[in-house]
Chains A and B, each alone.
Chain A
Amino acid sequence: MPRINSAAELEELRKDILAQKDPDKTCISVCAGIACLGSGNAQVISAFEEEIKKQSLDAKVDLIATGCHGFCEKGPIVVIYPEEICYLEVTPEDVPEIVSKTVIGKKVIDRLIYTDPNTGIKAAHQTEIPFYKNQSRLLIGNSPKINPKSIDDYLAIGGYSALSKALFEMTPEGVLDEIKKANLRGRGGGGFPAGSKWETTRNAQPGVEKYVIVNAHEGEPGAFMDRALFTGNPHLILEGLIIGAYAIGSHQGFIYTRHDTPVLRKNLDLALAQAKEYGLLGDNILGSGFSFNVDVHLDVGIFVSGESSALMRSIEGMPPEPRPKYIRTSVTGIWDRPSNLNNVETWANVPQIINQGYEWYSSIGTERSKGTKLISLSGNIVNSGVVEVPMGTSLREIVFDFGGGIPNGKKLKAIHFGGPMGGTIPESLIDTPLDFDELSKQGASLGAGDMLVLDEDTCMVEMARLFLDFLAGESCGKCVPCREGMRQMLKILTNMTQGEGKDGDIKLLEEISGVVGEAALCSLGRSIQKPLISMLKYFRDEFEAHIKEKRCPANACKELK
């Protein structure tokens, strides 16, 4: 592979890659997202390889294992380009028929396409399936079309053009200004303006080395959109990171991710190696004089290491214990140097803002929450999966139009955002728009965008207990309010679900929550009471029924039936 030494050479290479691609050539795109792999897509891929060989189609057909297509519920998914025919729940046994009828015969196999469960209407293309139809897949939409292991595929869809534009046509201040004007807000949970954070790191400790970090820890149960995007299109995040580093004046980046997603690790290592070979990473990027390197660090199994200051300790090789929140990591982070951390989705938004400008970006979304948001849908929902919608989309649309509603004829009871540090809102607030501030107002922060849908059979006391049970095993144990407060709250809630709740328990829970929220050291500790508080706000009668009547209104607690 040649090293690219200028913006012109990059465009030249892009032209060459595009010239070699025949847009009419058949390409079989097999989803290799986590869920599709879990439901047997590796066998589907090998069946295709075998069949292509058997029919001597090697030269006429491309076969790619891609990142997540999003419609996890109906996996394994196979899409055949250029016609974009989408087959769902494909088994290895279906493969010979797909090759002979669709790849060679150009005919659609009716039994493998989408059938609307309500109307019976069939849809052969992704763009016609209700799940995909009204999404705005600006970030994840390319994943079905590219091979995440090929930098050429990313270049073919215009990849690294934003980096080239930033390096050669913009000053670091100009890039920073663009991100600030776009009002890009952090996608990891806080919703803090990314531009202001970048500026703080840029201006902190002049002359001292600065760091930029991708937080790809994604430890919240039910959150899987970052993994889906990062695995399926690693160069997108890398490009965003390099642009950010240029704006901030950093020459060293870190990617912090989980060790237990082997496909992500592989794709990421490959992406870094390829970018280096092309001269898009390393010394003198694209001949611009700007140098930047990236190291990958792995979490090996503790939730708290996704907290920004704990994550930075971990990169230093120390135990992942957070520091008090008044020490700002953007000023004093890794080895006490200024360190700017953003999550995967935030970085992924950067290239399109640079390419298309802040005016375009801020035309999407609501007044204070711009752009699109990736949402991972899970729980009691017909279509679990990853959707991408403009900010401002109503929760009703997400649950019923994209999510397909609640399975088994049950009623929706509540929606929980943000995992064990998030909040729950009841069914009655389903017309709330997806917006950082609107959701916060209702007591549920958007979190990273994980939406857990709960049906009428869910006991909210048990849900509150489950979240604390999860966190009790994940606290680092350094500060007392978090460690002991959680233990006591868990004990009270467990008693309630076992019919041993006492008068005054709710008051005690609220008191402990108040102390933990004020006095715990880090943002994890200070958020552990949030699910409970929101559930007490909207479902207090359920807690009272457990205590006073020894009754579980949802009929879920075994000891109380």
Chain B
Amino acid sequence: MNNEKIEQILNEHQGQPGALIKVLMEIQEENHWLPREVLVQVSEKLEVPLSRVLRIATIYKTFSLTPKGRYQVNICTGTACQVRGAQQVLEEVQKLTGIKPGETGPDMKFSLETVNCQGCCSLGPLVEIDGKTHGKTAPAEIADALKKYE
């Protein structure tokens, strides 16, 4: 965790309750998850009750309250990807990684999420691994793609 960077984000928005979502988002982007002690700091710095910080942090899917693996695997389950076979791809990834959407493996290698439409339906079914897009994925190809990550 880069404390210095988090502190910088907090200092920029000290005493600005309206910046709550923005601050949480910046910390999430920087740290990939929101530890409880950081949420307490956010509450104090922005002068927002901790209950409201937790409410915001738990309603939005982007925020994670648990640590994430080294590689984020996102599987689009938007309708266009669904009609093109996203479910089969998801089942294959679950089988290969042993984790379900929302989980991180005990080796902290992969975190798996299903995501809503990413807006590139021509590439469906769509899988993103560590920020890299894999389009028109067949379940058979996904094993090869996952193998590349250590």
Contact = CB atoms under 8 A, between A and B. Distances in A.
Interface of A: 33-35, 37-39, 72-73, 75, 218-224, 227-228, 259-261, 297-303, 314, 316-317, 319-320, 376, 378-380, 383-385, 416, 419-420, 452, 454, 458, 463, 466-467, 470, 476
B49 interface: no
B83 A379 contact: yes
Given A218-B119, A221-B116, A319-B56, 17 more contacts: A35-B119, A39-B123, A39-B133, A72-B120, A222-B79, A223-B117, A228-B119, A259-B25, A300-B28, A303-B116, A317-B17, A317-B19, A378-B121, A384-B122, A416-B79, A466-B82, A470-B79
A314 B59 CA distance: 12
Given A221-B78, A467-B79, A300 B120 contact: no
B80 A452 contact: yes
Contacts of B124: 378, 384
Contacts of A39: 123, 133, 135
Contacts of A466: 79, 82
Contacts of A467: 79
Contacts of B119: 34-35, 218, 223-224, 227-228, 261
B148 interface: no
Nearest to B22: A298
B135 A379 contact: no
Interface of B: 17-22, 24-25, 28, 52, 55-56, 59-63, 77-80, 82-84, 115-124, 126, 133, 135
B83 A316 contact: no
Nearest to B58: A319
The 7 A-B pairs of least Cβ separation, nearest first, read: A221-B78, A378-B121, A224-B119, A384-B122, A378-B80, A35-B120, A301-B61
Contact of A34 (B24, B83, B120): B120
Nearest to A458: B83
A242 to B, nearest CB: 23
A259 B59 CA distance: 15
A137 B62 CA distance: 35
A452 B121 CA distance: 10
Contact of A38 (B17, B25, B55, B135): B135
Contacts of A385: 122
A73 B124 CA distance: 10
24 contacts: A34-B120, A35-B123, A35-B135, A38-B120, A38-B123, A72-B121, A72-B123, A221-B117, A223-B117, A223-B119, A224-B119, A224-B120, A260-B115, A297-B21, A298-B25, A300-B61, A300-B63, A301-B61, A302-B60, A317-B19, A319-B52, A378-B122, A384-B121, A470-B77
Interface SS of chain B: helix, strand, loop or mixed? helix
A500 B4 CA distance: 56
A293 to B, nearest CB: 15
B60 A300 contact: yes
B122 A35 contact: yes
A221 B80 contact: yes
Given A320-B59, A378-B122, A419 B79 contact: yes
Contacts of B63: 300-301
A385 B80 CA distance: 12
Contacts of B82: 466
B54 to A, nearest CB: 11
A476 B58 CA distance: 11
Most buried by B among A376, A378, A379: A378
Contacts of B60: 299-302
B26 to A, nearest CB: 10
Nearest to B128: A38
Nearest to B80: A378
Nearest to A376: B121
A179 B47 CA distance: 43
Given A300-B24, A454-B83, A73 B117 contact: no
Given A35-B122, A72-B120, A317 B20 contact: yes
